[in-house]
Structure 1
Amino acid sequence: MKIDPQLLEFAKSMRQSTTDAEHLMWQVLRAKHFMNLKFRRQHIVAPYIVDFYYHELSLVIELDGSHHGTNDAIEYDAERTKFLEALDLKVARYWNHEVLGQTDVVLEDLWKICFELKQTSP
């Protein structure tokens, strides 16, 4: 399936303008620093662009800022998660303030998720 060139360009631009939480998480996940897993950032799962993705475990990591707390955003995120889960992707969501203020708690939770997925993957 060919990916829309505009979506590719948008994903590229998103990689260049990350939030502080995305930047911190990328420093942890990049270059197999976390559990020796190769994550991608701003990865396209058409029609969406997910924050982080690990193909071998079908894992999506989404980081949410305060604007995700509005009713419209909650509904949108629920639909998006439902779509991704219908593709057999596991979605882990963290708030930006958790990533920035409780990094160790977020990484411990993510470690548990990855460990469980590794145990059940073929």
Structure 2
Amino acid sequence: MTGFLAGLAANNVRVVSIRGSEFYSAVIEVFNALERRIEGTDVKLRFWLTQDELHQDAPEVREGITQAVQRDLISLDNPTYQHMRLKIAKADADLYLEDLPGGAELYKELAADFTRSYRAIA
């Protein structure tokens, strides 16, 4: 989640609506793109994402959001917690990305893909 959030910050995203199944679908699409892009590299994923058929959310994404709040990377706007506000400044994004497997450009590209496919961002 850190790479995704820092990639969003690097792409000048400040707020993302997490309301509804569209958000979870878009994150899962980015995850699928990640799987394709790392094929044949040394990067190994230790997680996977699935969308719950009944609730249309992704439990792993919800957990990642919770952990990001605890690590002070994001905040959730009150009262309904439907907007995720990044606390990572664009200027600091590379500090978060520099040591991640796959390199900073991978996460910036994935975040750019997300912003093209998911419009509920600011």
**Structure-2-length-normalised TM-score:** 0.30
Which has the larger share of strand?
1
Higher relative contact order (CA 8 A, sep 6+): 2
Which has the larger share of helix?
1
**Structure-1-length-normalised TM-score:** 0.30
